[in-house]
Structure 1
Amino acid sequence: MTEGAAREVGDGVDREATLRTLTDGTLEVTGRLVEASNGTFFGRVTRDDHVLECVYKPVRGERPLWDFPDGTLAARERASYLVSEAAGWHVVPPTVLREGPFGFGMAQVWIDVDVDAPQVAVVPAGQAPDGWFAVVEAVDVEDRPVVLLHRDSPELRALALFDAVVNNADRKGGHLLPTGGAVLGCDHGLTFHEEVKLRTVLWGWADAALEPGERRTLERLQGRLAAGPLHDALAELLTRRERAALSERVAELLVSGRMPDPGDRWPTIPWPPL
């Protein structure tokens, strides 16, 4: 994404212009991510003199998943964006559903990441720096003890709470997008399952008490899930049981007053974690 586009995404008025361009502009495919398990393309969207770079994932390129048999990954990506916006987290790049060169699918603004601000790292055991959480111990390919870490920051904590709400089953380190002091997330196709499937590398706040601001955010989201534009939009994207489970997760977080704890569930970390 260009520097100008990055500024637009952070601005309230320009965000609407970004969404209009992303939805109604002419979408041209400019490349493909060949390592992705589903069809993932790079693109450029043009509307008048407004140009955005984007990621485009057509539904026809989605690989069937036995544990996510309902709906589409594209719909869950859009639903994740809507929940992030309604709660005020703003942790998902602008995301829409639209027609494209390879059919209907998801289009999301491309984010250039700050490569000098890694959020997850693997270091030799016993060498965790201050300001980082140790998540899991392991051994590397040469059988040396290592530890998986993530930063201790408000931005990542917001993503961890968002992931708990949307039941993200695939929060890898590579799905974190640090940019300009913020940290966004991408690849939210494996979300909103009615069963608990939270798999993430962001377990540093496990069982931590919710902060007052986090409680207010969840209460605001709870109201918007019950009725209004968010309720109506999610009804077009998720099943009834998925929507019910979403509301239940928010209610359970408010009742417990704590961040999720992996407990004895398995698996709780995606593979590969990075």
Structure 2
Amino acid sequence: MSDATEPDVLLGGDLTVIGQITTASNATLVCDSILGEQSMRVVYKPVRGERPLWDFPDGTLAGREVASYRVSETLGWGVIPRTVLRDGPFGLGMVQRWVDTVDRVSDGSSEPEIVDLCSPGNVPPGWFEVLQAFDSEGEPVSLIHADDPRLQRMAVLDVLINNADRKGGHALEGVDGSVYGVDHGICLHTDNKLRTVLWGWAGQTVPGSLIADVAELATAVDGHLGDELSELITDAEIAALAERAKNLTALAVMPVPNGHRTIPWPPF
């Protein structure tokens, strides 16, 4: 399906529920969006299925997913699959294009996933070891991720949108060769809530090409992007996004973990 037809199917197709992702915290339904002869697999998260949180206003997670997507698109990075806010079988919700992912197990590959666990001492050369911990069975493990520019863009995006829950399972390696981030419902808070498994670049200089995009984002937030986001998040949250973009542009250095709650656990 061409990019030109994708928005129409995503926005205007009839959603038919074919399954549910039962491990998700909020109601997450897998659907086919059907418009005439065209069909697209999507993820649909209705607002009415959002679990209340103490630190995020009720009913705002779907809007935050769409706002995060628009930030990614303004940067020109394509990190987040196309995401829209629209009506569905269970009311208003977020609808996002499904990502077909690389299946290393079925392919017989011995390579780890782009974010993975391994035994300590077996970190692949050139990979980042984020921390050592114990798994659910009490066995020692290392949390690792690839030193991959596709993943680095995601890490920078997470700083900008203040992602409070970047788990390994939210970083998907698509069969099309791209790396996608999903599940951005708890982003864009005014308080610093960055929690991520992607700390490999902590304290490192951000590549100049990415900083140039961040600088353009800071300008866009004060203009057309800010107007778009005003329908999805608060003015204070938009101002906080602009401030993070300006600070990262000025410093050009990735933040470092500042406490024990900066890595989600379990990490998947």
- Structure 1 residues 31 and 145: CA distance shift in structure 2, 3 A: closer
Contact 1:178 1:184 in 2 (8 A): yes
Q: Report deviation, 1:70.
A: 5.7
What's the secondary structure of 1:214's corresponding residue?
Answer: helix
Question: Counterparts of 1:40-189 in structure 2 under 5 Å?
Answer: 40-69=28-57, 72-116=60-104, 118-179=113-174, 180-189=176-185
Question: Counterparts of 1:13-32 in structure 2 under 5 Å?
Answer: 14-32=2-20
Which residue in 2 is equivalent to 1:37? Answer: 25
What's the secondary structure of 1:15's corresponding residue?
Answer: coil
Equivalent in 208, 221, 228 of residue 225 of structure 1: 221
For residues 88-120 of structure 1, give each alpha carbon's deviation from its aligned partner in whole angstroms, at most 9, with x where no partner exists.
Answer: 110101111111011110110111110226111
Given the alignment of the two structures, is residue 259 of structure 1 paired with residue 247 of structure 2, yes or no?
no
Contact 1:87 1:220 in 2 (8 A): yes
Deviates more, 1:63-72 or 1:101-110: 63-72
What's the secondary structure of 1:213's corresponding residue?
Answer: helix
TM normalised by structure 2 equals 0.93
Question: Counterparts of 1:236-255 in structure 2 under 5 Å?
Answer: 236-255=231-250
Which residue in 1 is equivalent to 2:262? Answer: 268
The unaligned stretches of length 5 or more in structure 2 are: 105-111
Q: Distance in 2 between matches of 1:268 and 1:157?
A: 17
Q: Which amino acid aligns with 1:170?
A: D
Contact 1:134 1:148 in 2 (8 A): yes
Q: Which structure carries more helix by proportion?
A: 1
For residues 100-157 of structure 1, give each alpha carbon's deviation from its aligned partner in whole angstroms, at most 9, with x where no partner exists.
Answer: 0111101101111102261112111111111210001112345443211001100000
What's the secondary structure of 1:96's corresponding residue?
Answer: strand
Q: Distance in 2 between matches of 1:30 and 1:234?
A: 31
Q: Distance in 2 between matches of 1:198 and 1:37?
A: 19
Q: Report deviation, 1:265.
A: 2.5
TM normalised by structure 1 equals 0.91
The unaligned stretches of length 5 or more in structure 1 are: 1-7, 9-13
What's the secondary structure of 1:147's corresponding residue?
Answer: strand
Q: Which amino acid aligns with 1:178?
A: E
Show structure 1 runs of 4+ deviating over 6 A: none
Q: Distance in 2 between matches of 1:71 and 1:145?
A: 39
Q: Report deviation, 1:260.
A: 1.6
Which residue in 2 is equivalent to 1:201? Answer: 197
Q: Report deviation, 1:18.
A: 0.9
Deviates more, 1:15-24 or 1:184-193: 15-24
Q: Distance in 2 between matches of 1:215 and 1:140?
A: 36
Q: Which amino acid aligns with 1:156?
A: L
What's the secondary structure of 2:3's corresponding residue?
Answer: helix
Contact 2:163 2:195 in 1 (8 A): yes
Deviates more, 1:108-117 or 1:141-150: 141-150
Q: Report deviation, 1:271.
A: 2.4
Q: Distance in 1 between matches of 2:8 and 2:256?
A: 39
Q: Distance in 2 between matches of 1:187 and 1:74?
A: 10
